[in-house]
Homo-oligomer: A and B are copies of this chain.
Amino acid sequence: MDEVINNLILDEWKIIEDKFIQENNLKNETLFSIGNGYIGMRGNFEEGIYNKEFTIEGTYINGFYETHKISYGERAYAFPETGQSMINIINSKTIKIFADDEELLVDKSKIIDYMRVLDFKEGTLKRSIIYETKKGKRISIEFERLASFTQKHLCIIRLSLNSIDFEGKIKLVSLIDGDVKNSISIDDPRSGSGILDKAFIIKESKIDKDILKMKIKTKNSGLELLCTSKNILKFSKDYISYDYKEEYKIGICYEFNIKESQQIFFNKYIVYITSRDCCEHDMDDISSEILNTAYNKGFEKIKYEQMEYLKDFWYKSDVEIKGDLHLQQGIRFNMFHLLQSTGRDGKTNIGAKGLTGEGYEGHYFWDTEMYVVPFFTFTKPEIARKLLEYRYNTLDKARERARQMSHKKGALFPWRTINGEECSAYFPASTAQYHINADIAYAIKKYVEATEDFDFLREMGAKILFESVRIFADISHFVENKGYCIDGVTGPDEYTAIVNNNAYTNIMAKEHLKYAFDTAILLKEKYISDFNNIKSEIGLEDNEIDNWKTISDNMYIPYDNNLKIHPQDDTFLSKKIWDFENTPKEKYPLLLNYHPLIIYRHQVCKQADWVLALFLYSEKFDIEQKKRDYDYYEKITTHDSSLSPCIFSIVACDIGYIDKAYDYFIKTARMDLDDNHGNTKDGIHAANMAGSYMDIVFGFGGFKVSEDKVFFKPALLGSWEGYSFKVNYRKRLIKVSVDKKNICFDLLEGEDLTIFCYDNELKLSKNKSYIVDLER
């Protein structure tokens, strides 16, 4: 703990706030969120807060959403009609505290000592406060909260309250509270409070001794959610307890007298379950069982399991950055939040903001496949698989969408969704991003390559690949002197829309077509009955498969012979370059200050587009080419998207622009901790978090898998003493440690493996370190 940034204290394994600063609270509630990929709870105060402006009470269940009609000033054919929003659900965090009827609140009471800690090793949010009452008496309070990684429906809050010198009556009110609403409303001034304010009705609300139970049902999507909580007070003296009921709230009140140095403990076991998890009729039984099991285990045991889970996670994935505590804290914070945010049941995914806020309505984007899947592929591949299974499970909806978009065959995945249906309302920057299909294919390829999970490929992956590639086969058309062209799409860079031959889309489609073809060949050779089943199920013809190869082989990738760079699309280079010089700082991000047309009219990028392709297909371009492309695009990229800097950093590593790589990495590693985009209050930037991991491993570490070979090209920065990272690859766990002089490879798990480090071919075996001299 050597420095305070943004009122956070630096630490290797934690983030720590030691002072309550009102203005930072919305952001810090996001940072201190806990979650387990199913439940997410913002880092709100259990005892409450006086000034509601400075809090967003938030509890979210992954995949639990309400729908609403999308409004359009002018509607057109196949515009999505129904939007989805992850909704703020029953708040079970609240435990109000009164000392002699004086309510203790962080922003109203006198505070002697204060600490809020998110612990990446424990997987807990811990808070300790010493309150001083109006009469000058002190009470020490500690909260510990976790969302269990081993039982996704379970959360626990533990309160210990200690009287330092207070003598008198303490009242605790433990609530579950259905009086919640989303803080970000759909952008429609008329709907204002209409849509997501009271998105649900309360179907049941019951207090049964120490158990609170509330069941809700959303008004339009018809989803049900049950929240139960078991409340246990441990106090050696007498206390009374009684029920608390309001229209939207239920609770249990506890009253007792406490003396100097006396202590009480209060455990609140909380279970959330929804009708997306099981049959509605089973929700009560399952919920009771989980609650009882948890209660029987007790807090300590559950916390132990939490720590064991994390021990394993960090063992398999940890990244160390030696000599830079800022970055060390940043990268672990990012990895920890990814683990907290990502659905792992095949029915849910990871929202752009995880489960920490309501930005982007909780929607899932391409961020998953291009950022988060690679992270899990090399750290916790079972989660990567579940993310891909989500696409498989929504394949039917993607097929429907393809039909709406006049594609006779195939599946077109949605640009943004929760339940698998497209719910983008501005198609030039959403539905037009056909690259989503190829992004998913890319992630499948990389996942299968890294895991050899051919079961996934033949059971699910191939069907996704074949159905989604058909869209590219449909829209590609041959143009003399060019090759196969793809018109009317938008690439990742949303500052240019609806163009012909977006270079990124074309290369991604080319590789998707090739991989689909290769997969068909592989299945035919090795899994013929699976192959035949798929063929008959989706009506796939042999000539279709051959056609994929033909199109792939002849896909047009735009190239400018004059500048010797890859233009972003057919007409990009003929546009005026944005007048950066005369654009004041406050006019960024451009999308909030210029009409889209003005932006589209210029050479200006929101984010890496072709530069992303340079990373993904690094091996296809020589270094001079990559430098020319990079140099060109860097000058005109605003990085208004949080997905951009990490990619620029990775490519900078590849082409030896180490200083640039470092500068971008800083922005990436601590984007949310330092609130670089000013909107962390609405939730974390999940894709960037995964990007910071990718930056270390693929960028600085130079890790790459290509044609079944594993490559590393680690680089070291002057200011770092060293760094290390781990890679899970085909049941091996490889640790790579880099210091000023050496690169050290350790095979921690698995069978022998040959790798390549620069020019060295190393055959790694377990329990032996391999050193490559960096200076040599």
Contacts and interface: CB of A to CB of B under 8 A. Distances in A.
Interface stretch (A70-78, A235-243, A642-650): A70-78
Contact of A431 (B498, B500, B595): B595
Interface string A181-200: 00000011111000000000
Contacts of A406: 594-595, 598
Contacts of A575: 487-488, 500
Count of identical protomers in the assembly: 2
Nearest to A587: B406
18 contacts: A72-B425, A73-B79, A73-B424, A76-B591, A77-B592, A77-B596, A406-B595, A406-B598, A427-B595, A477-B576, A479-B574, A487-B574, A487-B576, A487-B600, A487-B602, A488-B575, A498-B498, A500-B575
A69 interface: yes
A73 B76 contact: no
Contact of A83 (B73, B187, B427, B595): B73
B73 A498 contact: no
Interface in A553-575: 570-571, 574-575
Contacts of A538: none
B71 A574 contact: no
A201 interface: no
Contacts of A405: 595, 597-598
Contacts of A80: 73
Give the top 4 A-B pairs by smallest Cβ distance, nearest first. A73-B425, A71-B71, A488-B601, A78-B595
Contacts of A679: none
Interface in A467-515: 475, 477, 479, 482, 485, 487-489, 497-498, 500
Contacts of A497: 498
B78 A594 contact: yes
Contacts of A479: 574
B570 A73 contact: no
A193 to B, nearest CB: 13
A331 B118 CA distance: 79
A529 interface: no
A406 B404 CA distance: 36
A616 interface: no
A113 B272 CA distance: 75
Contacts of A477: 576
Contact of A189 (B69, B78, B404, B594): B69
A347 to B, nearest CB: 25
Nearest to A499: B571
A77 B597 contact: no
A593 interface: yes
A432 interface: yes
Interface core residue of A69, A475, A594, A595 (most chain B CB under 10 Å): A595
B591 A77 contact: yes
A680 to B, nearest CB: 21
B574 A571 contact: no
A482 B573 CA distance: 13
A428 interface: yes
A426 interface: yes
A131 B107 CA distance: 82
A406 B74 CA distance: 24
Nearest to A577: B477
A760 to B, nearest CB: 48
A75 B425 CA distance: 9
Interface in A55-106: 69-80, 83
The listed residue with most B CB atoms (<10 A of its CB), out of A71, A428, A600, is A71
A426 B79 CA distance: 12
Contacts of A498: 428, 497-498, 597, 600
Given A574-B485, A601-B487, A71 B188 contact: yes
A73 B74 contact: no
A70 B571 CA distance: 33
A406 to B, nearest CB: 5
A228 B71 CA distance: 39
Interface string A594-621: 1111101110000000000000000000
B73 A70 contact: yes
A23 to B, nearest CB: 27
Contacts of A78: 594-595
Nearest to A416: B74
Given A191-B190, A601-B488, A571 B500 contact: yes
Interface in A416-430: 424-428
A354 B259 CA distance: 85
A139 to B, nearest CB: 48
Nearest to A477: B576
A597 B425 contact: no
A477 B78 CA distance: 36
A69 B189 CA distance: 8
A574 B501 CA distance: 10
Nearest to A431: B597
A601 B190 contact: no
Interface string A526-556: 0000000000000000000000000000000
